[in-house]
């Protein structure tokens, strides 16, 4: 890929709403992405391989648990900082951001929020440093949008439980040392349980041939009579609200992340439109291209405002799941539409890996599907405003 | 080892430069400021040296309070403490006077600056500072090693390089090659919160220079294509328009 010339876009001077520390974190992650992600990501995406060498760097810039308290190895930062980190990483690649989202919101968050003190001390510092990578198993072959119907379950075996079942579409699964798995207990109640790589009967076959998130490793989790100590069950949550709490945190980060992908597409298309000459002048001078670019920056600006406000609410512990759904749905869709329009501005060049747009576009097809599909988030908003459940 | 690194705050390299109405000063509205890249190299080398040999790195900047994010970033990169001399950096002599007034009392073993700041490119502060402190001065240094109170410095010169040895204390200005700048990490940013940033009042310095006017270079004109067969026309253009022959 040619040199990464990305510049942030801040049409409404939103930087003034950020603290000095927010900007320092954001700019540092941006620099890191330019140095360590942009030069390699296209190649890894083309080869459908996760660049494991970036794990140390991700940990260094604080991508693993930035809002987890420092005493457990986290960054002790606020939710806006977390959002900005996700934005900058996804500006590089949604797959890399997925790895960071999973580690922070789907693995560290449940261990911190629902775990015992021993579990926190045992797992969190190693997850924060990247020494251990985690994954999150909720989706099953026959239960995606409807996770409450899950079949994975465990039976009692003294101070252990015996876990059976399988999970599908699990990000980070092929290389993770541990999995936070959601499974039904003997009473049929959903519980969180930490399964470790070396437990007999546990395997993680990789899912191949994705056209999206190619630089992120996805796999299955297969549990064939896996004996897991009861000490690995997360004691402080029961029922679907466990995984949904995690998803809230991750979806919030995705709402920011999508802005990153959108800004990269817009930035690339804007620069191209100023440099590409057709009919004797830059194509940015033609009204049809201006319409695309003007609408893109308008949508990005709206998403920035939405997300910043959501961050403030999240810092105050007032952001509702439905508010987070609205932001995830709006922003990911916004980014996907921008990727499609931006690709057209580049004409044939937009088809190649010389520019990041097509990679973002394909990545965003996963982002609009995972963590609650575009439809499901609409149903959440619909239920929130009408009071009627349209899911079932 | 006690090291001082002097840091200036400059517009990001991608900034579109405009001037205020009087054409005597830069319009800083919407301009992103960064640590001068050469100073960042100096800071990194200072950190490498003190990490290996022990010691402290102080970063110093002459500027008003709006520049503190730059110092905070230097602390996040790893400097131990920061000093801001509270004045607008009028010109090189003014800045060198401020730094020397502060540094005189502090007994630094090594003072590093960048070779020049990338805004006004004066390249004067380092030498002036050395002179004011009565210390040896080596400019545009590509490599700096320190052993037993003795510095070994390499400079690039026309067609080769110059290797200099010099006892500490000394003042040196850094250029590319001395170190690879670091990106602040999360630990650094967290610890920067509690590192000391001292604000020091400026000393009086007489005014010797005034900026009369700032001008931008004329915009580059577009490329003219001349057909390969029209050599006479080409020579004419080079002669009359480009005025190069
Ligand atoms: C690359 C990738 C990585 C992933 N990573 C993870 C991970 O780490 N952990 C994890 O647990 N999961 C992960 N997932 C799974 C993801 O969360 C699911 O794919 C998603 O929840 C949708 O489930 P499904 O694929 O079974 O689709 P389905 O639920 O079968 O949905 C199919 C279609 O039906 C629609 N639909 C479903 N129900 C309704 C309804 N009531 N009303 C109207 N329309 C409806 C959906 O919107 C969708 O359009 C990942 C997925 C991908 C693609």
Q: Do B183 and A28 touch (CB under 8 A)?
A: yes
Is B232 contained in some domain? no
Q: Do A32 and B183 touch (CB under 8 A)?
A: yes
Residues written for chain B: 245
Q: Do B69 and A25 touch (CB under 8 A)?
A: no
pLDDT digits (tens, 9 = 90+) for B15-70: 888 999 899 888 988 888 999 999 999 999 999 999 999 999 999 999 999 999 99
Chain mean pLDDT for chain B: 94
pLDDT digits (tens, 9 = 90+) for A337-365: 999 999 999 999 999 999 999 999 999 99
Cis peptide before B169 (omega within 30 of 0): yes
Task: Check whether B226 has a pLDDT greater than 90.
Answer: no
Report in angstroms the alpha-carbon separations of A298 from A8, A253, A257, A291, B245. Answer: 14, 21, 17, 11, 51
Report the complex ipTM.
Answer: 0.92
- Residue B187: its chain A contacts at CB < 8 A? 60
Task: Check whether B218 has a pLDDT greater than 90.
Answer: no
Q: Do B185 and A31 touch (CB under 8 A)?
A: no
- Residue B76: its chain A contacts at CB < 8 A? 24, 28
Closest ligand 1 atom, residue A216 Cα:
1
Domain containing B30 — which CATH number? 3.40.50.620
The pLDDT of residue B15 is 84
The pLDDT of residue A55 is 98
A21 close to B (CB below 8 A): yes
For B193, the closest chain A residue by CA position comes to A21
The pLDDT of residue B221 is 74
The pLDDT of residue A1 is 61
How close, in Å, is residue A276 to chain B by CA atoms?
15
Is B234 contained in some domain? no
Q: How many domains does chain B have?
A: 1
Is B242 contained in some domain? no
User: pTM score, two decimals?
Assistant: 0.94
pLDDT digits (tens, 9 = 90+) for B118-142: 988 989 999 999 999 999 999 999 9
Is B26 contained in some domain? yes
Is B27 contained in some domain? yes
| Residues A47, A43: Cα–Cα separation, whole Å | 6
Mean local confidence (pLDDT), B136-160: 96
The pLDDT of residue B243 is 85
Q: Domain span at residue B170?
A: 2-213
Residue whose CA is at the smallest distance from ligand 1 atom 1: A366
The pLDDT of residue B4 is 98
B183 close to A (CB below 8 A): yes
Closest ligand 1 atom, residue A371 Cα:
17
Sequence-distant (6+) residues with CB within 8 A of B117 are B8, B10, B36, B38, B39, B125
Is B241 contained in some domain? no
Is B235 contained in some domain? no
Instruction: Give every residue of chain A whose pLDDT is below 50, as ranges.
Output: none
- pLDDT greater at residue B209 or residue A196: A196
The pLDDT of residue B119 is 87
- Best of B16, B33, B34, B183 to substitute, by most chain A Cβ atoms within 10 angstroms, is B183
B73 close to A (CB below 8 A): yes
Is B229 contained in some domain? no
């Amino acid at each position: 890929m040619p040199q990464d010339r990305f510049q942030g876009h801040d049409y409404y001077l939103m930087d003034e709403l950020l603290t000095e520390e927010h900007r320092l974190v954001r700019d540092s992650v941006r620099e890191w992405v330019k140095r360590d992600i942009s030069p390699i990501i296209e190649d890894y995406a083309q080869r459908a391989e996760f660049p494991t060498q970036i794990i140390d760097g991700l940990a260094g810039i604080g991508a693993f648990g930035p809002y987890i308290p420092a005493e457990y190895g986290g960054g002790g930062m606020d939710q806006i900082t977390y959002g900005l980190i996700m934005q900058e990483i996804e500006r590089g690649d949604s797959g890399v951001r997925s790895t960071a989202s999973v580690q922070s919101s789907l693995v560290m968050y449940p261990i911190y929020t629902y775990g015992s003190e021993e579990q926190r001390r045992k797992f969190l510092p190693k997850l924060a440093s990247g020494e251990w990578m985690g994954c999150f198993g909720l989706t099953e072959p026959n239960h995606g949008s409807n996770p409450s119907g899950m079949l994975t379950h465990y039976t009692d075996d003294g101070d252990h439980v015996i876990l059976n079942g399988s999970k599908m579409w699990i990000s980070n699964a092929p290389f993770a040392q541990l999995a936070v798995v959601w499974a039904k207990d003997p009473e049929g109640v959903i519980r969180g349980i930490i399964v470790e790589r070396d437990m007999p009967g546990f395997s993680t076959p990789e899912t191949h041939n994705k056209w999206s998130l190619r630089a992120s490793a996805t796999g299955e989790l297969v549990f064939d009579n896996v004996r897991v100590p009861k000490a690995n069950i997360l004691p402080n949550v029961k029922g679907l609200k466990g995984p949904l709490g995690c998803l809230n945190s991750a979806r919030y980060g995705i709402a920011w992340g999508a802005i990153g992908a959108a800004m990269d597409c817009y930035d690339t298309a804007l620069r191209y439109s100023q440099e590409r000459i057709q009919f004797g002048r830059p194509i940015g001078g033609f009204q049809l291209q201006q319409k695309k670019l003007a609408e893109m920056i308008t949508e990005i600006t709206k998403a920035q405002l939405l997300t910043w406000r959501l961050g403030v609410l999240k810092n105050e512990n007032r952001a509702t799941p439905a508010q987070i759904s609205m932001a995830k749905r709006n922003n990911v869709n916004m980014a996907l539409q921008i990727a499609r329009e931006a690709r057209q501005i580049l004409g044939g060049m937009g088809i190649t890996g010389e520019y990041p747009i097509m990679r973002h576009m394909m990545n965003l097809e996963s982002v609009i599907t995972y963590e609650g599909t575009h439809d499901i988030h609409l149903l959440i908003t619909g239920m929130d405003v009408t009071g009627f459940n349209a899911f079932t | 080892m006690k090291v001082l690194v002097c840091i200036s705050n400059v517009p990001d390299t991608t900034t579109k430069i405009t001037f205020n109405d009087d054409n005597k000063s830069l319009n800083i509205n919407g301009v992103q400021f960064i640590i001068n890249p050469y100073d960042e190299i100096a800071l990194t080398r200072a950190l490498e040296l003190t990490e290996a040999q022990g010691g402290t790195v102080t970063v110093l900047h002459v500027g008003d309070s709006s520049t503190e994010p730059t110092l905070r970033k230097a602390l996040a990169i790893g400097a131990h403490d920061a000093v801001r001399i509270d004045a607008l950096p009028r010109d090189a002599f003014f800045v060198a006077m401020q730094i020397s007034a502060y540094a005189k009392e502090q007994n630094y073993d090594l003072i590093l600056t960048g070779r020049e700041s990338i805004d006004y490119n004066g390249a004067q502060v380092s030498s002036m500072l050395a002179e004011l402190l009565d210390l040896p001065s080596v400019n545009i240094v590509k490599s700096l090693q320190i052993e037993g109170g003795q510095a070994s410095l390499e400079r690039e010169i026309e067609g080769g390089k110059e290797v200099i040895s010099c006892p500490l204390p000394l003042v040196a200005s850094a250029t590319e090659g001395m170190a690879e700048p670091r990106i602040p990490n999360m630990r650094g940013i967290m610890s920067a919160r509690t590192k000391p940033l001292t604000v020091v009042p400026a000393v009086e310095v007489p005014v010797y220079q005034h900026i009369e006017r700032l001008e931008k270079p004329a915009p580059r004109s577009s490329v003219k294509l001349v057909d390969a067969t029209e050599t006479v026309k080409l020579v004419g253009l080079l002669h009359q328009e480009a005025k190069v022959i």
